Amino acid sequence: MLTTTARATLKPALLLLTLSLSLSSCSLFGPSSAPVATRKPVAKAPAKPTGKVVDAKTYQKGYVGQIVRVARTYTGVPYRSGGNTMSGIDCSGLIAAVFNTVGLKMPRISWQQSEVGYEVEVNAIRPGDLLFFVPDKGKSGYVSHAAIVTEVNNYDSDIRFIHASSSRGVREDNLYSSYFKGRFVKALRPF
């Protein structure tokens, strides 16, 4: 049994810990994998999402249009850490909810999503691909943010993606904006 003094000391510490976790990552549980820059390549087949698995051609022709349309229905939904509904959602929740809506499963946490599928170069990014970001510009670190590519207008200057911004809710942004360009880690094709 905790004393009144111990409880009074513990409450602010728990509040600070909860606040730190929610501000440091868009996923509910924060990072729990090795930093991106220090991970060693694994000599195995790329991870596949659990649930329905399709080939790349079927994904591009049969699912990408639906994924972009469904993702855009979330535009304006407020950010909520751990959220996955129209009343509040975070970045990895958006991806999981959109994929689930079209019948495809995706892990719930952003760093886990960053391990699904296979990496593609920037000049090969297509709508439906996933983008991943680190928290600090120009530094290596853990994946803390994820997004879905919605359109590619120019590989050198205009790759649009939808994501749940912690300050502005669900919105579309450009990969080449100064904020995101310096935090970009990789692009993945989930199938």
Which residues are the active-site residues?
Answer: 91, 145, 163
- In one-letter notation, the amino acid at residue 147 is A
